[in-house]
Structure 1
Amino acid sequence: MISTLDGIVIVPGRIKRAIPTKSPMSKPIIAIDASLIGTQNTGDTSYWRGLLYGLSLIETNAEFHLFAPDQAPLNYDLHPKFTWHHIPAKNRRLWNLKAFPQAAAEIKANVLHTQYNVSPFAQTPAITTIHDVSFFVNPDWYKLKDRILLTTQIPKTIARAKKVLTVSETSHQEIIYHIPQAEPKTIVTYNALGPNFQPQPKEQARSQLNIGQPFVFCITSAWARKNTSLAAQAFQFSQLANTHRLVTCGPGDPILPNSTHLGYVDDLTMRNLYAAADCFLLPSLHEGFGIPLLEAFASQTPVITGTGGAIPEVAAGCATICPDYNPQTWAEALNSLNDDSGKLQSMIERGLRRVNDFSWKKTAELTMEAYDEVFRG
């Protein structure tokens, strides 16, 4: 005769503790590091906002809890499916190491979702998102301190994680090349166009911006791999320098003395810039995905870009891909914008269709599958 009592299996002649099983009424309780949702417009912010949007669209019995060291951002409309937890800490490092995993354990979360970081103190099974491993691809793009931190800690994070999500097949291959132990646990969940990105009518955008002349658009960055100085050099060497202005937004100062630099801009201004530009330049040396490509495609604006990281994968023949990062090569690409309007229009139309190949709902479904797999153990 076999019976159980309080988790003990009673067998004649011996006693053994039962293997714990999840109650049929149990469900995934997901604790998400939402600290990047309210920051400046970056690829990280776009990813987390897009993922939450996608999760809001799918049917699931899971509970979703968002944790951050700050209050919920006022500029973000939180879906009722999500509960926000404000968990303060003395600094971000302590928040990552202790405050977040402890708070998640207190609500009995059974899955953590982080970015680039899984605390060694986390007792909850974790999933982490790794957008790219550009710090392995070319360490010189990073300051020595950041380089050492990333190249030593990311392999440890991947070892602790039950699943690793990444945003392109290119990033997938780079991750498993540099960190082979990631191969059996890494899956691709692509980025997509932001749910609130509504392309603006071109003439309306030009009127609202009031730049005063045709322009080429580029987004600046403090990161060396974003390579924004190339945009300035290429523009100067091109014929468009005689008829157009170079307009930039983002951190830092103007990259050309006679260019227009708008600094950080709001979402509407960003959409207007994409729509009103005669060309969008993306000179980045490496991208894990490249959401700006989709934003330009959706705005029906021609794109000139390079071969860095996942850019060719995402562009998929819908942009002019320069084979190198020589400013003269890029200047010639700018000059060619006036050569063949039929070819250019065809590329614009392909770009518009390419946007529809990516969906935050699909990404959320794949992410939910990963949550469920980790939850089931």
Structure 2
Amino acid sequence: MKVLYDHQSFTGVPYGGVSRYFFELMRSFAKRTDIEFELSLRLSNNEYLDQASFSRHLRYRSLAQVRNVHRVASVLNRLYSLRRVKAGKYDIFHPTYYHRYFLDALGNKPFVISFHDATSERYGKLYPEVGEGLYDLKKVLLRRADCIIAVSEFSKQEILRYFTVEPDKIKVIHLGTTLGDYASASEYTTPPLQAPYLLYVGKRGLYKNFTGFFRAIQPVLQRYPDVHLICAGGGAFSKDEQTLFHSARLANRVHYRPASDASLLALYKHARAFVFPSLNEGFGIPVLEAYSGGCATVLSNRSSLPEVAADAALYFDPEDDESMAEAIERIITDDALCADLSLKGIERLKNFSCDKTACQTLEVYQSLH
């Protein structure tokens, strides 16, 4: 059996949860003999693919800052993918995002689509940046797809809430993480900060709710002057964020760190706790990453997070400042709770792996072949 993946999630951005998902899927399949695959990609600066022997794309790092270069790369990639779709040398097509360019060229070949979250449906009007215009594209693709992979039961329910789809067409397949593979890296053993710290990971805008979280924990940080906050990834602090930290008189205790896989694992390993105040997650990979580092987790009680973490987390209401502050104070002051959540997280992680995700995805492909 041969599967064709397209360029979409690997064009324009070096990192991202969706491209990581497809990269890990292909990396797992590359170890197997019962499946072949092709990634139709010509131009990409995706960092994950640097490690991959299965992609022969060209990088354009030196041109990345040139205006419109990503748009040109996207058009060229789409033309190449369309050619590969029309060539028909595959059994299953699995596009990596929601463009419909391939529909007329697909013929009677089955295709599978992965649905990560309904952020654009839930928050599109409030935050147009998350892709308000995606709804119509998703509607067409979900209707035409032979199978829909939802990354959580929560995501499946979101599909049924916003789209007219037969429930039987949706297969829930949880995700995994390979962050623990970096356990032997040298950065892992060196604490990134000598003081105790809370860890926030990823983007901070919009529904990620970082500003609300920071507002809620200010009084807690004032009461515990030795506790710091590290924000990993998501881009350097904006001027507005720096102003926020200064006005709270906490600028010297809030730190930004870029995040490679090895350095991220070290951050989880040495943190007092990982905090995830997001209002909406289709799955929540950072939860599994935290477990890989033996890190206690303090999570929003919304969306997929309770499904993924089960009893291996302390929860709060992300829209209630008092609830957030209380949870953070508990994790700062209760050593036994921290140790218990760390052990529960390590145990919970055994339910998830990238190879398990790939195995269940292969079963979906085989059911359509």
When normalised by structure 2's length, the TM-score is 0.82
Pairwise CA distance, 1:313: 0.3
**Deviation readout 1:21-47 (Å, 9 max, x if unpaired):** xxxxxxx22111255358444321331
Give the equivalent residue in structure 1 for 2:199.
217
CA contact (8 A) 1:235 1:241 kept: no
AA in 2 matched with 1:45: S
| Separation of aligned partners in 1, 2:353 and 2:265 | 19
**Deviation readout 1:97-139 (Å, 9 max, x if unpaired):** 6541322332622321113324333314321111011222333
| Separation of aligned partners in 2, 1:338 and 1:252 | 26
Pick from 124, 127, 135: which aligns with 2:112? 127
AA in 2 matched with 1:174: E
**1:171-186 correspondence runs (5 A):** 171-186=155-170
| SS of aligned partner of 2:351 | coil
Give the equivalent residue in structure 1 for 2:20.
46
Give the equivalent residue in structure 1 for 2:51.
77
Give the equivalent residue in structure 1 for 2:308.
314
AA in 2 matched with 1:246: L
RMSD between aligned alpha carbons? 3.0
AA in 2 matched with 1:235: I
**1:254-269 correspondence runs (5 A):** 255=241, 256-257=245-246, 258=251, 259-262=253-256, 264-269=258-263
Pairwise CA distance, 1:232: 1.6
CA gap 1:89/1:29 in 2 versus in 1, 3 angstroms: farther
| Separation of aligned partners in 2, 1:230 and 1:121 | 45
| Separation of aligned partners in 2, 1:300 and 1:225 | 27
**Deviation readout 1:46-65 (Å, 9 max, x if unpaired):** 312221232234441x3210
| Separation of aligned partners in 2, 1:31 and 1:363 | 18
AA in 1 matched with 2:174: Y
CA contact (8 A) 2:127 2:206 kept: yes
Give the equivalent residue in structure 1 for 2:36.
63
AA in 1 matched with 2:91: N
Q: Which has the higher helix share?
A: 2
**Deviation readout 1:183-225 (Å, 9 max, x if unpaired):** 2321111111226643479x9747352x342211112415411
Deviates more, 1:351-360 or 1:335-344: 335-344
CA contact (8 A) 1:116 1:157 kept: no
Give the equivalent residue in structure 1 for 2:360.
366
Matched, 1:230 2:196: no
Q: Which has the higher strand share?
A: 1
Give the equivalent residue in structure 2 for 1:31.
4
Pick from 192, 208, 231: which aligns with 1:248? 231
Pairwise CA distance, 1:89: 9.4
| Separation of aligned partners in 1, 2:179 and 2:189 | 23
Give the equivalent residue in structure 2 for 1:198.
182
**Deviation readout 1:147-195 (Å, 9 max, x if unpaired):** 1x11111111112211111211110111122113252321111111226
| Separation of aligned partners in 2, 1:182 and 1:222 | 35
Pairwise CA distance, 1:296: 0.9
| SS of aligned partner of 2:140 | helix
Pairwise CA distance, 1:69: 4.0
CA gap 1:321/1:140 in 2 versus in 1, 3 angstroms: farther
Give the equivalent residue in structure 2 for 1:156.
140
**Deviation readout 1:248-267 (Å, 9 max, x if unpaired):** 12224164231444353322
CA contact (8 A) 1:221 1:252 kept: no
CA gap 1:303/1:200 in 2 versus in 1, 3 angstroms: farther
CA contact (8 A) 1:171 1:288 kept: yes
Please tell me whether Structure 1 or Structure 2 has the larger radius of gyration of its CA atoms.
Answer: 1
When normalised by structure 1's length, the TM-score is 0.80
| Separation of aligned partners in 2, 1:215 and 1:186 | 40
| Separation of aligned partners in 2, 1:196 and 1:104 | 36
CA gap 1:173/1:222 in 2 versus in 1, 3 angstroms: same
**Deviation readout 1:218-250 (Å, 9 max, x if unpaired):** 124154111111332233121565111111122
CA contact (8 A) 2:121 2:162 kept: yes
AA in 2 matched with 1:351: G
CA contact (8 A) 1:216 1:279 kept: yes
Pick from 103, 117, 120: which aligns with 2:84? 103
**1:247-326 correspondence runs (5 A):** 247-249=230-232, 250-253=234-237, 255=241, 256-257=245-246, 258=251, 259-262=253-256, 264-326=258-320
CA contact (8 A) 1:220 1:252 kept: no
CA gap 1:182/1:68 in 2 versus in 1, 3 angstroms: farther
Give the equivalent residue in structure 2 for 1:6.
none
